[in-house]
Amino acid sequence: MSLELLILGSNSAAFAHRRHHTAQLFKLQDQQFLIDCGEGTQLLMKRNKVKLSRIDHIFISHLHGDHYFGLIGLLSTMHLFGRKKELILIGPPGLKEIIQLQLRHSETALNFPIDFTEFKPGETSIVLDHPKYNVTALPMDHRVPCSGYLFKEKPKKRRINRKMLPEVKLSNLDIVRLKDGEDILNEDGSVKYENKLLTMDPNPSFSYAFFSDTKLRPELQKMIEGVDMLYHEATFANDMKDRAEQTYHTTAEQAAQYAKEANVGKLILGHFSARYKELDPIINEAKAVFPNTELAIEGTKFVVDGK
């Protein structure tokens, strides 16, 4: 099992230098999650051969246009393609009203239901709880209500050592107990098979944190401690630190220092200002602090598989 992140769009407010607005496709377990949906997302999905039918969850960070102006078009295309199954849409207060208003005035009745979940501004809360993973909304510090998202697999069960199976007799219930970490007992309560002899450690549980438009959030550092991958906005290089502060954004150096202190596995930087045609100032500044840093270049896939 692994996690995979596909960068669709990576620029900030304006389309520039062939970079589009923020959008990502995140894969975990058997699910595909669309994170933000800036203008042009449909085009980028088609270019990267992403199947719309596989997307059942969309997460929107906030209501600045470069993060959601592509959403109504995407929903309309899903409708035209005959989608029937429910779509889960998670985002800020007001998003449901906006979508319903657009649909009403275009006299469109979608073929499929939308389950809207609105995060609570300024609060940390679980917005999606699945038996195998959960997603937590993390409050960002931006000019409008904004949330990042932490995707985290739940602890996995122990694995059966299949090389030992020919030597023992196990019922289906025995296998369940072994996966739960229990020994197999005789009727008198004595140990028949020790768990450690018949099982192996669980596969690793993976995690990914998405930090959208924001100033630094030191208070969230413990929540993302040790995540396998962190995406953090880096709108400016450090020579524009004052501008970043004024506009509620982060510099590459600040993001890299944050990743270093949080002991994350890999840092991915995005949401680049249109002032940067070339991104060398961003990546060089970050790598000087946190070497395992990459740029969110459109079409790039980042994979963590525990190997």
Contact indicator for 8, 41 with CB cutoff of 8 Å: yes
How far is the first Cα of the chain from the last one, in angstroms, to the nearest whole number? 10
Residues 109 and 100: their CA atoms lie apart, in Å, by 10
Residues 104, 120, 212, 114, Cα dihedral to 10°: -30
Neighbours of 174 (CB within 10 A): 18
**Residue 232 known to bind ligand:** no
**Residue 62 known to bind ligand:** yes
CA neighbours within 13 Å on the CB side: how many for 113? Answer: 4
**Residue 142 known to bind ligand:** yes
Residues 152 and 134: their CA atoms lie apart, in Å, by 6
Marked catalytic residue, from 36, 56, 66, 129: 66
Active site residue 66: yes
Place of tokens 């998670």: 90
Q: Give CA 188 to chain center in angstroms.
A: 49
Contact indicator for 16, 278 with CB cutoff of 8 Å: no
**Residue 20 known to bind ligand:** no
Residues 246 and 4: their CA atoms lie apart, in Å, by 34
**Residue 188 known to bind ligand:** no
Instruction: Taking the CA atoms of 219, 225, 231 and 236 in sequence, report the sign of the dihedral they define.
Output: positive
Q: Which residues are annotated as a binding site for Zn(2+)?
A: 62, 64, 66-67, 142, 213, 271
Q: Which residues are annotated as a binding site?
A: 62, 64, 66-67, 142, 213, 271
Give the residue numbers annotated as catalytic, written as ranges: 66
